[in-house]
Structure formats: C-alpha cells, structure tokens
Amino acid sequence: MTRQRRWLVGLLAVTTLGLPAGLLLGSGGGPSSIEGLASAGEQAVRWTGATAGDTTAPATTTPTSTTVAPPPSTTTSTTTAPTTTSSTTTSTTSTLPPSSEGDRVLMFVAYNDVWWSEYKVMYETLDALGYDVDVRSSAGGSASTYQLGLTLDEWSDHPTSGGTHAGFVDAFEERTGEAWNSTWNDPAPIPIDGLIQDVASLDAYEAFVLVGGTGAIDYLYDGTYEANTSDHGGDPGHVSDAAAVEEAAIAIDELVNDAIERGVPVIAQCHGAALVSYARIDGTTGGPGDLGTSVLEGRSATGYHLGDGDTAARLASLGVTYLPDRSVVVDGPDPALVGGSHAATSRIVTTRDWAPQTVLHGASTLYGIMRTYPADVELAAPRNVLVLHGGAIDPSDCQASNQSNDVPCNWGPADLPADVTHLEALLAADSPADDFDFTVSDLDLTEPGALPFDPDAPGELRAHLDAQSIDVVVYFEHWGHGTTDEIQSDLIGFADDGGGLVAFHHGLYNQGGNIDLLAAAFGAESNLSDWGGSTDPRPGAGPYGFLATGYGHFIATHGIGHESTMIEPPFGDGFPASMPGHPSQSSVVNPNANGLPFVELHEEIYANTTYLGSPDFGSGVGQIDTFLANDAAAFSPDQTLTAGFAKRFDPSGDDTVGRLAYVQPGETRSSYEPTSPLGQMFRNAVAWAADGDA
C-alpha cells in the first residue's frame, strides 16, 4: 500500500507513574495483575465486550495466581485474516457538537483491549472543554475495554495512582468546569464513529489522540501485523483482521506525519505512546521493518514502564530516548529530519501510565498546547520588538546605591547581572528550537532627551509604536525612574488595542510607586516597601527548580528541554498547593510520578513578588494564567506561583485582545543564551505576546 508523505514536525507527551513490585507488566497497556486485589471467586479481569451496554464478562476461570502471563508477542507476522471478520462501520452522533468550525479532535482506539480510564478521562475532558471527539478504530461497531477488575474510581483511589479519587474529581472540575459523572467509572464498550483508515488528513481536526491499552501494540507500524483480538478475556469473535490492522497502522503513520506538517498536536498514551515513535520520516530507511527513521529519532518520549522493558527496547530500536521517570513528555521531531521546519516543535505528547490522574495531566497538557500555541505561520512571521530599558550596566559603579546605573550588581563584580545588551542579543540570535524572526530596537528611558517622543506627553509613545509597526514591547527597566505615568498609560493602551507587552525579571520591581500602573495591569509586583531580599543566583547557592505548573503552555513548553525526572512541589516548606481561585497543584501532581516537569537554574528569586488584590486565575480574558512556579518555598512560600504567568488583556472590553506575559527569573547572563531553557522561555514569551489581535 502506498504511503503518501509530507514533512512533519510533532509533539509528544508522556506521563509517568511509579508502581510497586506487585504490579507486573503484560505486553499491552495497563498492568497485567493486581496483587491482593482479587478475592476468591472474583474475576481478575473486568472486560467490556463489543455490544453496547453488555457488561457481562465472558465465562472465564479466575486465575489461581495474581500474576498473569504476558500475551503472545505481537511481532509475529500474519497476513491471513481469521475466520471471524470485523464488523462494518457504524456511525454515532457525537455527544456535543463542535463549539465552532474546526473544534474537533481525532481519537484512535484499538478494536480490542483499550484501557478504560485512558479513553474515558481523555474523552470526557475534551468533550467538557467543547471539542467534538471523533472516535475511530480499525473496524466498526464498538471497541472492547478492560481495567483488571477495578472501576475507574477504584483505580484513582489505588496506591499506584499517587492520589485519591476525591482529588481526581476536584481536579477534573477545576480543569474543565464540569463535574465528574460517577456513571463513567464502570468500563463499557466504546462506540466507534468510523474507520481510522478513512481519515485522509487532519485538516478538520485540532489534535490527534492515540489511546493506550494492550491492544494498541498491534497497530505499531513495523511491517508485521496480526489480527487484533482480546488478550483480557474478551469475546473471541470480536476481531479486527490482520489486513484491517495493517491498514490502520499505515493510516496512523500517515496521520502523524500529517500532524507534523500542519503543526497539529498529537498525544499518545501509555502503551499507545509507542505508536507515535513508530511513525517514520518519508524517504528514509532503517528502523524496525526497515520502514524508515522515527519521527522522534534523537528526541524523547515516555510510555508504559512496567514489566519486561518492552517500551524501552522498542524506543531504543528507533533511536528515541526513553524517559520512564516522567509522567508527561512534550517533544517533537528534530528539525533536521523534517526539512528544517519547526512547525511541530514541542507538539508531540506522550504519557506514561493508566492512572486517571495521569490521563487528566496529559489531557491538560494537550489542551494547553491547543489553546496557547500560535499557528506555525505566525511563529515564523517577522515581528518588530521594542525593548524599553535603563541602559547597560556600569561595571565600575553598579551597586544599588548608584541608581543612575539601572541594573544593580547585587552579587559582586565576579557575577555581573544581565542587562539590555544580553536581552537584545538573545532576541536577535538564531535559536535551535524556533524560527522566530525578531527585529529588535531599543530605547533608554533614563535618557529622556534622546527619546523620539516626549515621555511626559500623553499619546506620544503610542504614536511612536504605531509609526514603527511595533508588535511587542519588552519592559526591562529596573528602577523605573524614566517610566512616567504617560509612558505606562500608552503601553497599557497599546496592549488593550491588541499589542504585546512583556516584562522580565526586574521589570515588575516597583520602587516608590514608579510603575504602579504597569503593576496593576499585570496584576503583580515586587514592591520596595516590603522588600524581603532575593536569593543568591550564584552556582554555590543553587540551583533552584522551576516547575512547569502549566505544562503545555507555549511559553513554558515550546522548545524547552526539561529535566529527565520530575520534582514534587515543596508542600512541606509551605508551597501554596492552591491560592484563592487558583487550580490546586496537589490535585494533579502524582507523587509516584515525582511531581512536575522542571528546569534547574542558578537564578535570582525575589522574595516578595506577589499578586495584587484578589487575583482572578484562569485562561479567560483578563485572568492570570500561571505556567511556572519555583521551589524556593523555604525562602518565601508566597512568591512561588509568581515565577511565570500570562494574561489576555482587554480592559476596555472592546473584544480586541492583547497579551501580557511575565517571567520572574532573569538575573544571570547564562540565562540569556539561546540554548538556555530560560532564554528559550524569554523568546517564547515575545512570540506568544506577538500573537494578539493587533
């Protein structure tokens, strides 16, 4: 069968969950046994067959051992269809119509052995967020599911989940605005809307979801295909034949490539995570079946982590780095493999395990990508950036007592801070992780006589921004001496009319009320009146962990190489598990997965950075959308969630929406290298802010 190809760039996210030795791995998705959970006479496998509404398990004998042997290898090739053929396609009506044209998500499930929670939590999350989920498989009718004798609520309460069902229910409602329905806990057949083989492209879809379960392994694009049947006590007559499985595997391969070309995000779960790694670059050879180079060769992914190491071996055979200690991983193709394109950079998501908490974390990450990533054509568009600053540092006299020098050398002459020259160099550089095209200019606000406008005249800065076709303003003055109220009002009006306004590090340091208007617009500040000091950024004093609490948000995710492990927020040191109106971080953090993705930085943290008034958190217009926290809770708990946030800005209410973004770290010069994760975050913030309505 001919494979039609396109150059692609992808997004991979993976979720991780550590499990005790009592859970052993089969060759598919989900654990294959649960020690001590099956009582005498209780069937160890809860299976749901192909007939909708039929929850009666087929007659099987309860295993005498709690360890179930892995199913037979799926690598044995067979092209002869079994005597039982797949059923014809049956279309079903979606629960919720798309909220607007294009708000659809394509979901693939195996015909047999789909892990229930990986399907149900993902489906209901996307449905609640307003997406029309189009469920496809290799055959029609309905797909069978399993959960090894436990319901979804029992799995979310199980020690292996790292949390509780109550916490999961709270997190689901926080992230979707809808209540979890208890009727969703019981495994059931999955209605299939059509064949995956019939989907020619992702042109009509916002994302592509590959659901896990042991059945997903049959669909690896590796040149060897056999019928998809149930290995978990399912109806032996419910079969998708080998020819249909092969067609589906080829279709998945082509759709992943299409996603890379279009910049459509892909998420692949648990056992299904391997499916995206088996997609191959057009025109290449090698890899399993000599079908070509993996779209993730040289990149990272996660996936099912228990048992005999099948996931690690499979990914190694494709040249993909396996991260078993990450619950969610976002990555994408090496641009060198896809014609130099960054269209799909950080748009492939893989998740590690079946816990409902993990699936929700993965779904939240996918949603973050869908709602915050600018279109790839916007990312490559030329952008005019103006940096407002207070001049380069004077190394001979840069102590805080000399405020004619704008950036103080708080940490001695051996550790001089970054200034405007480093920021400009970063924005003008070529990053290996993006195609951003910034044209950077700057103005020193401490030299009013040299400015091309009167800083005390209302509207003159705004006229200059319009005349120069400025897309984004980066505010980088430290003391705020030259930032008049008129300048601040013009910047706020510029953002209100759809422009981008970004501040880094000391940009929200408010001395003597010098930037009260800007602080109010952003909704945060570090005020001199209650200054409590800052952390030492030098190598001997760190590093600090910066946690991607909003993993999937463009600023905190695009092109950023997070650590191979995860860290749990320092709740014991007073880390705010929640703030009034802010989603609870503890409700989505899986302790067995070691917390959240993070980067380590030797950076300065302001102890007293705080949100003003009663902050309104969320992703709507005017709300504070947090994406970064730090782990310096022992130093100052209240500032941890101020490390990075964004805001869609429309104070006039005229529906012309601008964008504000703030990233708090940014003292050290090494952070302004384009290869630094923080340097990439700065570049991302400018690119994201440029995508407003102006």
Domains and CATH numbers, the chain: 104-373 (3.40.50.880), 381-530+605-693 (3.40.50)
Query: What pLDDT does residue 41 have?
Result: 25
For residue 294, the cross-strand partners are 280
Q: Which residue has the higher pLDDT, 602 or 638?
A: 602
DSSP strands (E only) in 236-377: 266-269, 300-301, 321-322, 328-331, 348-351
> Do residues 626 and 539 make contact, with C-beta atoms less than 8 angstroms apart?
no
pLDDT above 90 (res 669): yes
Give the whole-angstrom CA distance, residue 87 versus residue 8: 33
Query: What pLDDT does residue 585 have?
Result: 61
Query: What pLDDT does residue 34 have?
Result: 43
pLDDT above 90 (res 410): no
Phi first, then psi: what are they for 556, rounded to 5°? -90, 0
Count other Cβ atoms within 10 Å, centred on residue 130. 14
Give the whole-angstrom CA distance, residue 8 versus residue 246: 22
For Cα atoms 414, 419, 425, give the angle at the middle one, nearest 5 degrees.
110
Query: What pLDDT does residue 236 have?
Result: 94
Q: Mapped to the 3 state alphabet, what secondary structure does 204-255 carry?
A: CCCEEEECCCHHHHHHCCCCCCCCECCCCCCCCCCCECHHHHHHHHHHHHHH
Coil/strand/helix, residue 608: coil
For residue 606, the cross-strand partners are 534
Query: What pLDDT does residue 247 have?
Result: 98
The band of 584, judged by pLDDT with boundaries at 50, 70 and 90, is: low
**DSSP one-letter string for 438-498:** EEEEEEETT-GGGSSS-TTSTTHHHHHHHHTT--EEEE--SS-TT--HHHHHHHHHHHHTT
Taking Cα atoms as reference points, which of 5, 560, 676, 15 lies closest to residue 337?
5
> Do residues 547 and 595 make contact, with C-beta atoms less than 8 angstroms apart?
yes
What average pLDDT does the segment 269-292 reach? 95
**DSSP one-letter string for 368-401:** HHHHHPPPHHHHTSEEEEEEEE-----TTS-STT
Query: What pLDDT does residue 636 have?
Result: 82
333-376 pLDDT, tens per residue?
Answer: 999 999 998 989 999 999 999 999 999 999 999 999 999 999 88
The fraction of the chain above a pLDDT of 70, given in percent, is 82
The band of 62, judged by pLDDT with boundaries at 50, 70 and 90, is: very low
The pair of structure tokens assigned to 408 is: 């103080």
Coil/strand/helix, residue 77: coil
For CA atoms 681, 651, 658, 126, give the dihedral sign: positive
The band of 160, judged by pLDDT with boundaries at 50, 70 and 90, is: confident
> Do residues 376 and 366 make contact, with C-beta atoms less than 8 angstroms apart?
no
What is the rounded average pLDDT for all residues in the chain?
A: 84
Taking Cα atoms as reference points, which of 220, 203, 247, 226 lies closest to residue 3?
247
Task: Tell me: cis bond preceding 543? Omega within 30 of 0 counts.
Answer: yes
**pTM attached to this predicted model:** 0.86
Cβ neighbours of residue 628 closer than 8 Å, sequence gap 6 or more:
546, 547, 548, 549, 550, 555, 556, 643, 644, 645, 663, 664, 681
* Of 34-43, 383-392, 596-605, minimum mean pLDDT range: 34-43
The band of 440, judged by pLDDT with boundaries at 50, 70 and 90, is: very high
pLDDT above 50 (res 231): yes
Instruction: Return the DSSP state at 426.
Output: H
Separation of CA 270 from chain center:
16
Q: What amino acid is encoded at 170 in this protein?
A: D
Question: What angle, rounded to 10 degrees, do the helices at 460-467 and 485-496 form?
Answer: 50
pLDDT above 80 (res 588): no
> Do residues 135 and 196 make contact, with C-beta atoms less than 8 angstroms apart?
no
